[in-house]
């Protein structure tokens, strides 16, 4: 009896760590993979998947990529996907695009997604992160959300930001509520400030941005500080922030803020 139970448990772990490729390989249970590999041990689970993938069998390679994605190992997942033959690659585009997205390579994710029809949700997310808010909002309005197993919180946060920037405050508030409390608190507060700004409530917008700006230094707290400085109309204050953070949306918004203030001066 004990032996049979042990065999059953081992089989369950194997299935969870190395699932058969689903019809949509990007829609897999990430939590189940993480939990199963925790029981088996990360190294042992990885070694088993690497051994299986060495046969160049498509499902085994997909399982290896899924394992890495479940553990937030995006570079390793992309390397695994490169093992696939050209005929198998197209249906794996959403997996590869997700890795690019997670690595902050939003333009590359969009480039990949051009080759697949089932792209809208992730495409909208990448557009939002690139600041193409109106284009993103249009796609968000017509496309269903990602499955619960995939980037669910990220989906609603990027949707909330895009809708707020596009002027749909109510839709943005709904998306922000759907995102829940998971993830970066400064990001949620920054987006909340943008929602209030879309409603014309500058007092609440400033309060939310101040709360975000008091968080640890990262993209979102610095974007909040930039937004507060821009509200004052003080070019020197906005310019001074450029030395405190680099990259991504912050750089884009810094240039836009300085440009608007200089034109208005």
pLDDT tens track for 102-155: 999 999 999 999 877 667 899 999 999 999 999 999 999 988 888 777 788 999
Q: What is d(CA 265, CA 260) in angstroms, rounded to the nearest whole number?
A: 9
For residues 189 and 222, is the Cβ–Cβ distance under 8 A? no
pLDDT at res. 265: 64
Confidence of residue 252 (pLDDT cuts 50, 70, 90): confident
Q: Exposed, middle or buried by CB within 10 Å (0-12, 13-18, 19+), for 71?
A: middle
Q: Does the structure show a pLDDT above 90 at 254?
A: no
pLDDT at res. 176: 96
Average pLDDT, the chain: 85
List of long-range contacts for 254-260, beta carbons under 8 Å, 24+ apart? 254/226, 257/226, 257/229, 257/230, 260/230
Q: What is the mean pLDDT of residues 144-173?
A: 91
Confidence of residue 88 (pLDDT cuts 50, 70, 90): low
Contacts of 57 by beta carbon, 8 Å cutoff, 6+ apart: none
Q: Does the structure show a pLDDT above 80 at 22?
A: no
pLDDT at res. 87: 62
Q: Does the structure show a pLDDT above 70 at 19?
A: no
């Amino acid at each position: 009896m004990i032996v049979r139970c042990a065999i059953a448990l081992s089989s369950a772990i194997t299935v969870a760590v190395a699932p058969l490729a689903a019809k949509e390989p990007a829609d897999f249970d990430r939590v189940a993979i993480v939990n199963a590999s925790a029981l088996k041990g990360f190294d042992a689970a990885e070694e088993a998947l690497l051994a299986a993938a060495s046969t160049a069998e498509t499902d085994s390679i997909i399982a290896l990529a899924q394992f890495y994605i479940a553990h937030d190992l995006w570079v390793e997942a992309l390397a695994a996907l490169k093992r696939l033959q050209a005929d198998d690659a197209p249906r794996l585009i959403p997996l590869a695009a997700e890795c690019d997205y997670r690595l902050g390579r939003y333009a590359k994710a969009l480039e990949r997604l051009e080759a697949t029809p089932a792209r809208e949700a992730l495409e909208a997310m990448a557009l939002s992160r690139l600041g193409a808010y109106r284009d993103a909002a249009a796609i968000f309005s017509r496309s269903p959300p990602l499955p619960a197993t995939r980037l669910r919180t990220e989906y609603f946060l990027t949707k909330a930001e895009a809708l707020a920037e596009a002027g749909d405050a109510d839709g943005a508030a709904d998306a922000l509520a759907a995102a829940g409390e998971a993830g970066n608190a400064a990001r949620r507060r920054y987006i909340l400030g943008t929602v209030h700004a879309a409603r014309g409530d500058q007092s609440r917008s400033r309060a939310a941005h101040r709360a975000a700006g008091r968080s640890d230094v990262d993209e979102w707290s610095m974007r909040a500080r930039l937004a507060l400085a821009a509200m004052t109309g003080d070019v020197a204050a906005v310019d001074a922030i450029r030395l405190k953070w680099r990259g991504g949306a912050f750089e884009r918004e810094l240039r836009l803020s300085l440009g608007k203030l200089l034109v208005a001066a």
